[in-house]
């Protein structure tokens, strides 16, 4: 059993100022997950008449991308390659103080406590992060052989769970890794070629319009990414963007 | 009230019913489509696919989900794969064989026509997903790769590493966002459906709560589609996401929709065992692991005891002391036996005192032989992310020691009753995916849930919904109608009542109490005494809940305890119907195992060696029907039956020996 001190960001409404509050987390089983530790603490807060700490979570197995806590200053904690819900208490020591804050970015306004609004990421996808095929019009799946290496590269980028850790980790709140992962996923596949230029231009412009910053090559994004998506995709997107921009200007 | 359950199955030979139905279905011309508004609740594979496809066709679509983005729906967590009768492996697969495997896998308790249609459209799904850019696994020649899954002897499962559900859902989400961008779909994330609105008996709208502001409002439309998933969280612990709930389906049931076969729940054999009472959910380890992993417990209780106390390590147990119980009991399917059968076999071993987890509830899933045969890199390429996931949760390296697994609640085959058009008995209310009951009978085979969700959403509902819409005048109802005002007022009153209780117990404590009771008496094995006990106790817990639950804060803002409370309140009503169904079904079939009805020595099929003693024993003469339950306020539910007609398949004993 662990006895810990929590320093937690509390903010009742989007308009409130918000502040860090301190909580004791006593007798926490080492086998519990980080979010189960918060469940235990919340149960005690409710039983003593308080309002529980609000946080986003859903699948609790590291794939839905809903959980989004900054733990001791690092999105999803300093453990490599995992989401918040996959952090386990056996990684902490007796007497530790843990700082818990939301994923912070200008484009991620706080809704309550540790819950933020990440709908800007949906709007980036909506601007062009897809292949425009109509249901029912597809040809036989094996009529388009795709080299295994291309399919694997596409998959590496497609593994993104859209959690926003890359953005919260970046000092510029840049969404470059998130956007590049989608550009790269579709750009690696033959199906993605017809809209390749249009896609990268639209997505990058939407990213800018949402208020995300630019990339200054510090790579905190890759370090924080629970799916360990490589920053190489950013370089690839930059190249695609430059090519598409030149073509657009020559043609207009 | 007497309800006639007309399945509307088309006439004609089985393999031509769907083609014929498509030809016979009504069409709505493009200029008229845009006058119809369709409300889609849920944005997983079924809901997302339906919303995107209906918008492509020209309908106006509003789509609602409780998560912060449609990309987070729980379809995303499906790991293993999706079945399709492509026969790319040339191993003898066909639409007919996928159909038969699915019917048999469901223990002959599903509709022939629905299952055949599912097998037919399975091939279109793979084409569609590849066109969307879903990065399925490929062979070096560039063609699609396949693997095997439980309950089948062919390789027909398409997969994307261990994240097939994620990749299919992202494809579907992108199609949905494409339509959002084009203006065909209006998306409402962080919005929970709390009631369905009926106008003259037709579903014409929904009441929702904005989970950010707490505002309760309603939306009107010409038809409602619910694709709201399953009710596995009635057990508190399950592999479902924390937010999965029965609320939308149950609210519809309270408004008159029939709930079919609620007792059919799937207990998945390969999950990480429970470790303590703080636990909030169970994690599935994909069934695909059973392609290369071998499941065993020690032959003797003494060795099991030593393993539990960590006096010895599993790799030190000699082969002759190991019982590979699935390979022993089901030699032809072995470790790839269907889920219900594998789960019960694991439970038997543990009940026998040979379980290996510290709690006694666990068996080994061992990759030693596969690693020796293929090498660690090959195993890493196939299952790397799953092994990593296990390591993170259990704190043990599965490359070195076998995984420890135990069955857990995973999927629910029961759901709202629907006809061949996927419309419930409430006109206008359509139900897709796990939320309906139609395709999996009493047990679902692996890699069939993704197939059904996408079949319903991409290929079935876009055709069949026109049969309803063609009978309707578009835009007839508005949220200013009395029915909407009244439903909104009822929802507001319920929310206020919940917030006003200010009792002593947390929502989770009630949920955990209910879940434990359901697991003990309505879980992997059920009997009359336990079910009657639940039917007596559930109303008592419900009574206490409504007097003693504590929900801090108000309803006018984000309030996660209030959200949970609404869902648990509905589970507390639904659970009772589930127990009534399990009690009324006096047979064992698929995931529904009544201890009183099992094969025993002396049965002709046991003596002939077709099945072993202790297997599920069906009663086709009396129970080859769908049990559809009608909600009655304050009273026991009423049972309505739809007889299952088998034209092509001969009901047989389900043997995997």
Q: At CB < 8 A and 24+ separation, what contacts does B496-501 make?
A: B496/B555, B497/B546, B498/B549, B498/B551, B498/B555, B498/B562, B498/B565, B498/B566, B498/B569, B499/B551, B499/B553, B499/B554, B499/B555, B499/B559, B499/B562, B501/B546, B501/B547, B501/B548, B501/B549, B501/B550, B501/B551
Model confidence pLDDT, tens digit, residues A114-166: 999 999 999 999 999 999 999 999 999 999 999 999 999 999 999 999 999 99
Residues β-bridged to residue B63:
B40, B187
Q: Are residues A133 and A218 in the same domain?
A: yes
The whole-number pLDDT of residue B67 equals 98
Model confidence pLDDT, tens digit, residues B630-643: 999 999 999 999 99
What is the distance between the alpha carbons of residues B97 and B222, in angstroms, rounded to a whole number?
A: 38
Interface with chain A: mutation pick from B53, B61, B72, B396, highest number of A CBs within 10 Å: B72
Give me the residues of B, 191-220, that contact A with CB < 8 A: 212
Q: Are residues A133 and A238 in the same domain?
A: yes
What is the distance between the alpha carbons of residues A114 and A205, in angstroms, rounded to a whole number?
A: 28
Q: Which of B126, B112, B443, B125 is nearest to B287 (CA)?
A: B443
Which residue in the block uniquely carries the two structure tokens 């590049």?
A180
Model confidence pLDDT, tens digit, residues B476-517: 999 999 999 999 999 999 999 999 999 999 999 999 999 999
Who among B56, B77, B140 is closest to A134 (CB)? B56
SS (H, E, C) B161-186: CCCHHHHHHHHHHHHHHHHHHHCCEE
In this complex, how many residue pairs, one in chain A and one in chain B, have their CB atoms less than 8 Å apart?
Answer: 211
* B471 in reach of chain A (CB within 8 A): no
Give me the residues of A, 204-223, that contact B with CB < 8 A: none
CATH code for position A221: 1.10.1060.10
The distance between the two most distant Cα atoms of chain A, rounded to a whole number of Å, is 68
Q: Are residues A209 and A122 in the same domain?
A: yes
> What is the b/e burial string over A104-122, where b = at least 16 CB atoms within 10 angstroms of the residue's CB?
ebebbebbbbbbbebbbbb
Q: Are residues A146 and A208 in the same domain?
A: yes
Residue A123 Cα to chain centre, angstroms: 14
Interface with chain A: mutation pick from B85, B89, B133, highest number of A CBs within 10 Å: B133
Residues 6+ apart with CB under 8 A from A51: A12, A45, B552, B553
The whole-number pLDDT of residue B655 equals 81
CB within 8 Å: A138 and B127: yes
Provide, as residue numbers in chain A, all residues whose Cβ is less than 8 Å from the Cβ of B504. Answer: 47
Based on its alpha-carbon atoms, the radius of gyration of chain B, rounded to whole angstroms, reads: 24
* A54 in reach of chain B (CB within 8 A): yes
* A187 in reach of chain B (CB within 8 A): no
The DSSP result for B277-312, as a single string, is TT-----B--GGGGGT-EEEEESSHHHHHHHHTTSS
Q: Residues B65, A66: contact at Cβ < 8 Å? A: no
Active-site residue B339, yes or no?
Answer: yes
Who among B133, B165, B558 is closest to A131 (CB)? B133
> At what angle are helices B528-548 and B507-522 packed, to 10 degrees?
170
Mean pLDDT of A28-45: 96
Who among A31, A63, A151 is closest to B166 (CB)? A63
Domain end call among A81, A112, A143: A112
Counting every residue written for chain A, the total comes to: 252
CB within 8 Å: A64 and B281: no
Q: Which of B448, B277, B265 is nearest to B343 (CA)?
A: B265
CB within 8 Å: B389 and A133: no
Per-residue pLDDT band for B155 (boundaries 50, 70, 90) equals very high
Provide, as residue numbers in chain A, all residues whose Cβ is less than 8 Å from the Cβ of B173. Answer: 125
Any idea what DSSP says for residue B258? Answer: P
Give me the residues of A, 77-96, that contact B with CB < 8 A: 81-82, 86, 88, 90
Q: Which of B163, B137, B159 is nearest to B77 (CA)?
A: B163
CATH code for position A95: 3.10.20.30
Q: Residues B195, B207: contact at Cβ < 8 Å? A: yes
Model confidence pLDDT, tens digit, residues B394-437: 889 999 999 999 999 999 999 999 999 999 999 999 999 999 99
B363-366 β-sheet, strand order:
B265-271, B403-412, B363-366, B294-298, B322-323
Q: How many CA atoms lie within 13 A of A1 on its CB side?
A: 8
Q: Are residues A67 and A92 in the same domain?
A: yes
> At what angle are helices B560-584 and B482-501 packed, to 10 degrees?
100
Residue of B nearest to A66 (CA): B72
- How many CB atoms are closer than 10 A to CB B502? 11
Catalytic residue among B339, B542, B567, B594: B339
Query: Number of helices (H) and strands (E), helices first, in chain A?
Result: 8, 7
Q: Residues B317, B307: contact at Cβ < 8 Å? A: yes
Residues 6+ apart with CB under 8 A from B425: B3, B5, B256, B257, B258, B417, B628
Which residue in the block uniquely carries the two structure tokens 């006439």?
B11
Mean pLDDT of B538-558: 97
The DSSP result for A164-231, as a single string, is -HHHHH-TT-B-HHHHHHHHHHHHTSGGGSTTHHHHHHHHHHHHHHTT-B---S--HHHHH-TT---T
The whole-number pLDDT of residue B373 equals 96
Give the pTM: 0.97
* B76 in reach of chain A (CB within 8 A): yes
Task: Give the β-pairing of B294-298 and B265-271.
Answer: unpaired
Any idea what DSSP says for residue B145? Answer: P
Domain end call among A64, A93, A112: A112
Residues 6+ apart with CB under 8 A from B288: B79, B80, B81, B147, B149, B157, B159, B162, B382, B383, B386, B446
Task: Give the β-pairing of B429-431 and B625-630.
Answer: unpaired
pLDDT of B386 over the 90 cut: no
Mean pLDDT of B466-471: 98
Angle at B623 between CA B345 and CA B424, to 5 degrees: 105
What is the distance between the alpha carbons of residues B312 and B522, in angstroms, rounded to a whole number?
A: 35
Q: Are residues A146 and A160 in the same domain?
A: yes
**B524–chain A nearest CA distance, Å:** 23
The whole-number pLDDT of residue B1 equals 53
What is the distance between the alpha carbons of residues A57 and B190, in angstroms, rounded to a whole number?
A: 13
Residues of chain B with CATH 1.20.58.100: 482-643
CATH of domain B34-267+411-469: 3.50.50.60
The distance between the two most distant Cα atoms of chain B, rounded to a whole number of Å, is 75
Would residue B42 be called left, alpha or beta, if left means φ above 0 and alpha means ψ between -120 and 50 degrees?
Answer: left
B191-199 β-sheet, strand order:
B191-199, B202-210, B216-220
pLDDT of B150 over the 80 cut: no
- Phi/psi for B574 (5° steps) reads -60, -40
Mean pLDDT of A85-97: 96
Q: Are residues A215 and A157 in the same domain?
A: yes
Provide, as residue numbers in chain B, all residues whose Cβ is less than 8 Å from the Cβ of A145. Answer: 141-143
Q: Are residues A108 and A8 in the same domain?
A: yes
Split into its structural domains, chain A has a count of: 2
Asked if ipTM goes beyond 0.90, one says yes
Residue of B nearest to A64 (CA): B72
Residue-number span of the structural domain to which A28 is assigned: 2-112
Provide, as residue numbers in chain B, all residues whose Cβ is less than 8 Å from the Cβ of A121. Answer: 69
Q: Which helix (H) or strand (E) holds B50?
A: helix B45-57
> What is the b/e burial string over B114-150, where b = at least 16 CB atoms within 10 angstroms of the residue's CB?
bbbbbbbbbbbbbbbbbbbbbbbbbeeeebbbbbbbb
What is the distance between the alpha carbons of residues A54 and A114, in angstroms, rounded to a whole number?
A: 6
Mean pLDDT of B244-269: 97
CB within 8 Å: A162 and B69: yes
CB within 8 Å: B77 and A129: no
Who among B128, B130, B284 is closest to A144 (CB)? B130
Which whole-number Å values give the CA distances from B489 to B218, B494, B594, B634, in the listed order?
A: 11, 9, 43, 21
* A191 in reach of chain B (CB within 8 A): yes
The whole-number pLDDT of residue B618 equals 96
Q: How many CA atoms lie within 13 A of B55 on its CB side?
A: 26
Domain B270-410 listed as CATH 3.90.700.10: yes
The whole-number pLDDT of residue B286 equals 84
Domain end call among A49, A84, A112: A112
* B235 in reach of chain A (CB within 8 A): no
**B464–chain A nearest CA distance, Å:** 15
CB within 8 Å: A148 and B67: no
| B482-643 CATH, one of 1.20.58.100, 1.10.10.10, 3.40.640.10, 3.40.50.720 | 1.20.58.100
Q: Are residues A174 and A76 in the same domain?
A: no
* A119 in reach of chain B (CB within 8 A): yes
CB within 8 Å: A146 and B142: yes
% of chain B beyond a pLDDT of 90:
90
- How many CB atoms are closer than 10 A to CB B601? 9
Interface with chain B: mutation pick from A49, A58, A84, highest number of B CBs within 10 Å: A58
């Amino acid at each position: 059993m662990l006895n810990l001190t929590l320093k937690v960001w509390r903010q009742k409404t989007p308009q409130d100022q918000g502040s860090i509050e301190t909580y004791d987390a006593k007798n926490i089983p080492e086998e519990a997950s980080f979010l189960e530790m918060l469940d235990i603490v919340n149960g005690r807060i409710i039983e003593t008449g308080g309002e529980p700490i609000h946080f986003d979570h859903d699948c609790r197995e590291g794939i839905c991308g809903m959980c989004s806590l900054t733990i001791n200053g690092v999105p999803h904690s300093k453990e490599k390659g995992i989401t918040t819900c996959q952090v386990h208490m056996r990684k902490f020591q007796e007497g530790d103080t843990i700082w818990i804050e939301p994923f912070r970015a200008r484009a991620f306004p706080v809704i309550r406590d540790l819950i933020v609004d990440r709908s800007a990421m949906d709007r980036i996808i909506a601007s062009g992060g897809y292949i425009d095929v109509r249901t029912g019009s597809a040809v036989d799946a094996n009529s388009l052989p795709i080299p295994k290496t291309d399919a694997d590269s596409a998959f590496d980028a497609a593994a993104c769970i859209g959690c926003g850790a890359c953005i919260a980790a970046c000092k510029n709140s840049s969404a470059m890794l998130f956007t590049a992962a989608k550009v790269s996923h579709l750009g690696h596949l033959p199906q993605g070629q017809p809209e390749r230029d249009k896609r990268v231009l639209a997505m990058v412009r939407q990213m800018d319009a949402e208020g995300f910053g630019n990339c200054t090559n510090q790579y905190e994004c890759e370090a924080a990414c629970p799916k360990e998506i490589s920053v190489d995709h950013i370089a690839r997107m930059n190249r695609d963007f430059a090519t598409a921009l030149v073509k657009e200007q020559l043609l207009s | 009230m007497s309800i006639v359950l007309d399945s509307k199955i088309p006439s004609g030979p089985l393999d031509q019913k769907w083609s014929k139905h498509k030809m016979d279905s009504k069409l709505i011309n493009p200029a008229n489509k845009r006058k119809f508004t369709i409300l889609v609740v849920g944005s997983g594979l079924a809901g997302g696919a339906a919303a995107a496809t209906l918008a492509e066709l020209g309908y106006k679509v509003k789509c609602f989900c409780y998560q912060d983005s449609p990309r987070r729906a729980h379809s995303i967590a499906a790991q293993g794969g999706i079945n399709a009768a492509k026969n790319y492996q040339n191993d003898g697969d066909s639409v007919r064989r996928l159909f038969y495997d699915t019917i048999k896998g469901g223990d002959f308790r599903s509709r022939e026509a629905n299952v055949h249609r599912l097998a037919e459209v399975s091939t279109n799904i793979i084409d569609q997903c590849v066109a969307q850019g879903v990065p399925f696994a490929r062979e070096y020649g560039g063609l699609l790769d396949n693997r095997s899954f439980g309950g089948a002897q062919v390789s027909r499962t398409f997969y994307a590493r261990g994240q097939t559900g994620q990749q299919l859902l992202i494809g579907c989400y992108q199609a949905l966002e494409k339509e959002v961008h084009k203006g065909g779909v209006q998306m409402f994330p962080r919005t929970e459906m709390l009631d369905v609105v009926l106008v003259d008996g037709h579903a014409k709208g929904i009441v929702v709560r904005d989970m950010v502001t707490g505002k309760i409002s309603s939306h009107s439309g010409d038809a409602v589609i619910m694709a709201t998933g399953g009710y596995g969280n009635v057990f508190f612990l399950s592999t479902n996401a924390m937010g999965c709930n029965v609320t939308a389906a149950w609210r519809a049931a309270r408004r008159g929709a029939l709930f079919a076969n609620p007792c059919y729940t799937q207990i998945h054999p390969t999950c990480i065992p429970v470790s303590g009472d703080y636990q909030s959910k169970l994690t599935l380890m994909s069934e695909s692991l059973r392609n290369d992993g071998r499941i065993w417990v020690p032959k003797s209780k003494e060795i099991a005891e030593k393993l539990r106390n960590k006096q010895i390590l599993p790799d030190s147990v000699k082969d002759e002391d190991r019982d590979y119980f699935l390979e022993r009991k089901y030699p032809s399917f072995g470790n790839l036996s269907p889920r219900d059968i594998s789960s019960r076999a694991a439970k038997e071993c543990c009940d026998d005192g040979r379980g290996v987890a510290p709690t006694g509830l666990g068996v080994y899933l061992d990759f030693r032989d596969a690693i020796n045969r293929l090498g660690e890199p090959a195993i890493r390429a196939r299952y790397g992310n799953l092994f990593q996931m296990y390591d993170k949760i259990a704190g043990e390296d599965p490359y070195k020691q076998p995984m420890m697994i135990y069955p857990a609640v995973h999927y629910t085959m029961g759901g709202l009753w629907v006809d061949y058009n996927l419309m419930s008995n409430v006109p206008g209310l359509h139900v897709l995916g796990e939320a309906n009951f139609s395709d999996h009978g009493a047990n679902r085979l692996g890699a069939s849930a993704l197939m059904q969700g996408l079949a319903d959403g991409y290929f079935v509902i876009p055709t069949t919904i026109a049969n309803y819409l063609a009978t309707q005048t578009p835009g007839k109802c508005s949220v200013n109608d009395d029915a909407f005002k009244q439903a909104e007022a009822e929802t507001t009153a319920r929310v206020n009542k919940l917030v006003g209780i200010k009792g002593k117990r947390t929502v989770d404590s009630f949920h955990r109490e209910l879940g434990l009771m359901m697991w003990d008496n309505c879980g992997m094995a059920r009997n009359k005494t336990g079910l009657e006990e639940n039917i007596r106790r559930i109303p008592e817990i419900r009574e206490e809940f409504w007097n003693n639950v504590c929900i801090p804060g108000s309803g006018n803002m984000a309030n996660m305890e209030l959200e949970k409370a609404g869902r648990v309140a509905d589970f507390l009503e639904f659970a009772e119907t589930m127990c009534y169904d399990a009690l009324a079904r006096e047979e064992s079939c698929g995931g529904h195992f009544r201890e009183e009805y099992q094969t025993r020595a002396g049965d002709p099929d046991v003596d002939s060696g077709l099945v072993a003693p202790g297997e599920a024993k069906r009663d086709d003469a009396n129970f080859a029907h769908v049990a559809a339950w009608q909600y009655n306020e304050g009273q026991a539910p009423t049972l309505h039956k739809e007889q299952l007609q088998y034209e092509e398949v001969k009901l047989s004993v389900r043997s995997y020996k």
